[in-house]
């Protein structure tokens, strides 16, 4: 088993919370893990990405080779496209459709969506809206993670356990909100693609 994942977003959107959840689940499943993070200058409103690699065998490189990523998980639509050279032709592009506009020349939404749709395997969802409907606008990242969960190669229960563990300090209510967000994202992804049972 090997999954190479690019996490993408804008500085401040908290992509590392997704990485931490997948990482915790992977470690509990006894898998190897490497995760290259972004620190420093690029954190303020600039583009950020993280390379997350999990495998049942020893991992060599901290960086995912171009064209070999199994998945891009992005919390922002334009950012999801920035890392296309990393994605394998069979890879999944899972992205939020809610744009984060802090630049003047942000592309038109329609053209952006058309580019996303060019990727044969993609899931695009408005995670912010789904999270808002659940009454927890802060858990949009967990909605995205839920949407990626059918393709992660990690047991869904392991992911839920990881969330319970990570948020346990903040109380049961917070755990439940995040688990609901995860499930809502997962449901939406399954609705969009009804993938083979590979989870």
Residues lying near another protein in the complex (CB under 8 A): 10-11, 23, 27, 32-47, 51, 58-69, 78-79, 81-82, 84-89, 91, 102-103, 105-108, 111-112, 115, 118-119
- The residue (of 92 and 188) whose beta carbon lies closer to another protein is 92
Q: Which is nearer to another protein, 123 or 134 (CB)?
A: 123
* Beta pairing, strands 32-36 & 47-55: antiparallel
Q: Which two tokens stand for residue 57?
A: 């065998």
Q: How far is the CB of 186 from another protein (least distance, A)?
A: 26
Residue whose entry in the numeric block shows the structure tokens 């659940």: 134
- How are beta strands 87-96 and 69-74 bridged, if at all? parallel
Residue number, 79 or 188, with CB nearest to another protein: 79
Which residue carries 């899972």 as its tokens? 94
List the helix and strand counts (H, then E) for the chain. Answer: 7, 6
* Beta carbon of residue 159, minimum distance to another protein (angstroms, whole number): 17
Q: How far is the CB of 47 from another protein (least distance, A)?
A: 5
Of 76 and 128, nearer to another protein (C-beta) is 76
Smallest gap, in angstroms, from Cβ of residue 183 to another protein? 27
Are the C-beta atoms of residues 98 and 119 closer than 8 Å to each other?
no
| Residue number with CB closer to another protein (81 or 130) | 81
Q: Is the Cβ of residue 13 or residue 130 nearer to another protein in the bound state?
A: 13
Alpha helices in the chain (DSSP H): 15-28, 77-82, 109-118, 127-133, 140-148, 156-167, 172-193
Minimum CB separation from another protein for residue 100, in Å? 9
d(CA 10, CA 100): 8
Q: How far is the CB of 144 from another protein (least distance, A)?
A: 19
Among candidates 182, 190, 164, which has minimal Cα distance to 28? 164
**CA-CA distances (angstroms) from residue 31 to 56, 92, 137?**
5, 21, 32
């Amino acid at each position: 088993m090997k999954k190479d994942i690019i996490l993408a977003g804008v500085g401040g959107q908290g992509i590392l919370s997704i990485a931490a959840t997948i990482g915790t689940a992977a470690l509990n499943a006894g898998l190897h893990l490497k995760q290259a993070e972004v620190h420093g200058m690029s954190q303020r409103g600039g583009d950020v990405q993280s390379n997350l690699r999990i495998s049942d065998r020893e991992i060599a490189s901290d960086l995912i080779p171009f064209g070999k990523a199994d998945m891009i998980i992005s919390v922002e639509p334009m950012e999801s496209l920035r890392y296309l050279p990393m994605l394998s032709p069979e890879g999944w592009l899972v992205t939020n459709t809610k744009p984060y506009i802090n630049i003047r020349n942000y592309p038109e939404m329609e053209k952006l969506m058309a580019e996303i749709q060019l990727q044969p395997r993609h899931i695009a969802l408005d995670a912010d809206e789904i999270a808002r409907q659940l009454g927890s606008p802060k858990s949009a990242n967990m909605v995205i993670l839920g949407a990626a969960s059918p393709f992660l190669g990690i047991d869904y229960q392991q992911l839920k356990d990881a969330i319970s563990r990570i948020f346990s300090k903040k109380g049961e209510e917070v755990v439940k909100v995040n688990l609901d967000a995860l499930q809502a994202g997962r449901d939406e992804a399954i609705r969009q693609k009804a993938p083979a049972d590979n989870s």
